[in-house]
Amino acid sequence: MTFAQVQWLDLYVEGDPHPRRFDRADSVRGYLSKVERLGEEGIQTLLERGEVAPPTTRRRYRLRPLSEGLEPSPL
């Protein structure tokens, strides 16, 4: 898979104006589990629906595909 073929995902967390960007759903899952300490129910709901909020989680999370034409520039 080339850089241009990556389906980037932006994770928006309540209270943080800057999204976190991931290259695949497995990366999002790892981040949510280890850093945000979300349970499996919250993670699965977010990945399936694109959004999860209290009472399932402490904060609101939204997951969106990166808009076309806004691909991150290569380093």
Its pTM stands at 0.79
Contact call for residues 62 and 11 (beta carbons, < 8 A): yes
Q: In a 3-state reduction of DSSP, which class is residue 17?
A: coil
Q: What is the pLDDT of residue 4?
A: 58
Domain count, the chain: 1
Tell me the pLDDT band of 69, cut-offs 50, 70 and 90.
very low
The answer to whether 61 touches 11, Cβ cutoff 8 Å, is: yes
More confident residue, 8 or 4: 8
Q: Domain limits at 31? A: 8-65
- pLDDT-derived band at 6 (thresholds 50, 70, 90) equals confident
Q: Quick one: tokens of 19?
A: 């999204």
pLDDT tens-digit readout, 13-55: 999 989 999 999 999 999 999 999 999 999 999 999 999 999 9
Identity (one letter) of the amino acid at 43?
A: I
Q: Does 72 reside within a domain? A: no
Element (H, E) at 8: none
Q: For residue 50, is it within any domain?
A: yes
